[in-house]
Amino acid sequence: MEILDGLQFDYSQDLLGRKSLVIHAMGEYINSGEDGVYPAAQFLEEVGLSVHFTVLPGGQVLQHLPISKRGAHARGYNVNTVGVELLVRGVQDYDSLRKLMAYEGTTFELYGRAQYQGLITIMQHLVDNYWFDDGLQYTYHEDLSPDRKHDPGRAFDRSHLDEQVWKRFHV
Ligand SMILES: [Zn+2]
C-alpha cells in the first residue's frame, strides 16, 4: 500500500455515481521503518486512512466504519465506495508486500480461501442493507489507479471470487 498522497485525482466515469466495493490488500502488520511495526488498523489510523472492513488471514471480518460513513481508502473514489483490506499474514513493508502480490518468487496462496468467503460475507451484508444501487459491483484498487497501486495483485484469484459471487448472488 502506498501512503503518500498528492494533489492528483483520478476519476473513472463508469464508477462515479454508483456504489461499489473496492478490494485492497495490506500486511497484517506493517513495518513502517523507523516508527516500528503497527497492526494494520492502527497503521491506517496513523497515516490518516480508513476502510470499512478488514478480512483477517483466517477469513474473519472486522468492521471499522459504518457503511454510511465515507472511508479514505481510494483517492478519487471514496464517495461512493466501501473499502475492504485483505490482510496478508505476517509483517510486511511496501516492497515485501508488492513482491508477494505480484507472485514474484512465491508459490503459495497469498490469500486464503477463507478470505474470499470473507468478501462474500461483506457483499451479503451490503446486499442485505440495500447498499448497491446498481446491482452488486466490486472492483480492485489496482484497476482504479493502475499507475500507482498494486493491490491486491496477480496473487488474487479473481475468477475464484467471481465464481463464489455467482454461486451466492447469481450475478
Ligand atoms: Zn489499496
Q: Where do the domains of the chain lie?
A: 20-169
pLDDT band of 20, cuts 50, 70, 90: very high
Give the CATH superfamily of 20-169.
Peptidoglycan recognition protein-like (3.40.80.10)
Mean pLDDT to the nearest integer, 37-66: 95
What local confidence, expressed as pLDDT, does residue 108 receive?
Answer: 80
Cα–Cα distance for residue pair 121/119, rounded to 1 Å:
5
For residue 74, how far is its CA from the centre of ligand 1 (angstroms)? 6
**Ligand 1 centre and the CA of 64: distance in Å?**
16
* pLDDT higher than threshold 80 for residue 128: yes
**Which position has the higher pLDDT, 3 or 97?**
97
Q: Where are the beta strands (DSSP E) in 8-160?
A: 20-31, 37-39, 53-55, 61-63, 81-92, 138-140
CA of 83 to the centre of ligand 1 (A): 9
Q: Please, which residues have CB less than 5 A from ligand 1, an ion? A: 24, 141, 151
Q: Are 32 and 41 in contact (CB under 8 A)?
A: no
CA 30 – ligand 1 centroid, Å = 14
Cβ(138)–Cβ(153) under 8 Å? no
How far does the centroid of ligand 1 lie from the alpha carbon of residue 144, in Å? 9
11, HSE (Cβ side, Cα atoms, 13 Å): 6
